[in-house]
Structure 1
């Protein structure tokens, strides 16, 4: 399964490079099901992998001036605070065995994977729904809706802290619809936010885990290679054609995790 895991890791980066998100949706399932890793440890490893690959992915957007630094800071500060509180207090407070009655046992790892599956289904829905086209030429309004942005940042921080997902599928719509950022700027800014959030979450986790650095760095490097491949392919293939296919894949994966963690556990 290790070979399958290393092979699958490259798709974490390819999805980020192609459509600006989705990498974190693949990371935890790869670590848990292909590398047989504990779910809680997998969320911490995912934070490093997603953060590192997002740094690589954001570099080209920085060079093209497609990153709104002000927005990244306003969004990032409440997110980092929420991640710290979640990793330091909320996650450790969840008992290893949450429910046990008869033949039904709900563990901490099972709960995290089920939460992750729900996130995957919402991600799939956001990719498959046919909403109104966003005008990508709309400039950012002078008056930012800071209160809503802070709320979004806190929510993303809790999601990131709990299940190791960057939350790009939630960040990009917020930047486009709330702040009226052009789509490419929203993707670049989202990658910066994901980088900051994920790497901060990983740092907050170091006191609770023992890291196998050789393994972790190798996965991150493979995923980073995937980002470069995805970025190249994005110039050849329209992302609007890839999102529905990726959405269906994520939906099937989410349903599989629910079945595996409940009926087949």
Structure 2
């Protein structure tokens, strides 16, 4: 149980600072390091990620870095896409899913790195003077459906897909992309957790509690750090983290028999 604490802190910092990385990091740690079953790990990771997203998201919300209208429309569109993607994934092998997802993550990392090199506003906010870009509902809904489908199809990586989509397709700054991503992750993780619990999934209370508490502390620290880190650095750090997880997924497919299945 004590081993869960440093991993929880690291996951929380990633979630609070970069707006993603929770489930993709938590599930492998719970399975390969802490010895949980896949069923326990996927359910526990939803608890950990939800708590971390709430803690990190509060800091970003107080700083005005959450675009609530975008988050609401994105989440509404993502839910049916997630269901459709989950159903579609049943017809594809786990190894094929893993390889395809790793390639998508690498493409997202490259695009995010290029975005981070672009010119940013001096105050870190949207150029029009507000915290958010204008709401273009059709674009938000299409992006939400696509991200929801990919998240359901691959079973991991909501934040890794949401942040690049907001930053690139919807023209968010990195800070508002991170903050808004946490709002979306909170909603979708709560929905996923409810589904798992209603399906009778179990979790190990001690390990889950320890990792969740540490994740909350880490997420609060990460959200605070994000305020003082240049957007270019945030973007590059996100891209590097995505590359590392993609490399892990490829190694898992090649040598570990595939990913932990949700």
TM-score normalised over the length of structure 1: 0.75
Count of residue pairs the alignment pairs up: 249
Contact 1:72-1:193 within 8 A present in 2 as well: yes
Cα offset, 1:224, TM superposition: 1.0
Unaligned 5+ segments in structure 2 are 258-262
Change (3 A) 1:141 1:262: closer
1:154-233 correspondence to structure 2 within 5 Å: 154-165=145-156, 167-206=158-197, 207=199, 209-233=201-225
Q: How does 1:13-52 map to 2 (within 5 A)?
A: 13-39=12-38, 41-52=40-51
Match of residue 241 from structure 1:
233
Query: Are 1:138 and 2:130 an aligned pair?
Result: no
Q: Using a 3 Å threshold, how does the CA distance of structure 1 residues 121 and 49 change in structure 2: closer, same or farther?
A: farther
For residue 125 of structure 1, what is the aligned residue in structure 2? 110
Q: Distance in 2 between matches of 1:199 and 1:13?
A: 17
How far, CA to CA, are the matches of 1:253 and 1:170 in structure 2?
A: 13
For 2:206 and 2:67, how far apart are their aligned partners in 1?
34
CA contact (8 A) 1:84 1:204 kept: no
Q: Which moved more, 1:73-82 or 1:183-192?
A: 183-192
Structure 1 match to 2:260:
none
Q: Could you list the runs of 4 or more consecutive aligned residues of structure 1 that deviate by over 6 angstroms after TM superposition?
A: none
TM-score, length-scaled by structure 2: 0.75
Note the aligned Cα RMSD (angstroms): 3.3
Distance 2:99 2:139 in 1: 27
Deviations 1:84-141 (A, max 9, x none): 4555x456x469xx5xxxxxxxxx5x56655654455345434544653355432356
Q: Is the 8 A contact 1:138 1:180 kept in 2?
A: no
Can you give the 5+ residue segments of structure 1 that lack an aligned partner in the other structure?
Answer: 99-107
**Secondary structure of 1:210's aligned partner:** coil
State how far apart, in whole Å, the 1-side matches of 2:108 and 2:2 are: 27
Larger radius of gyration: 1
Name the CA distance, whole Å, in 2 between partners of 1:36 and 1:222: 19
Q: Write the distance in 2 (CA, Å) between the matches of 1:13 and 1:188.
A: 14
SS of residue paired to 1:133: coil
Match of 1:104 in 2: none
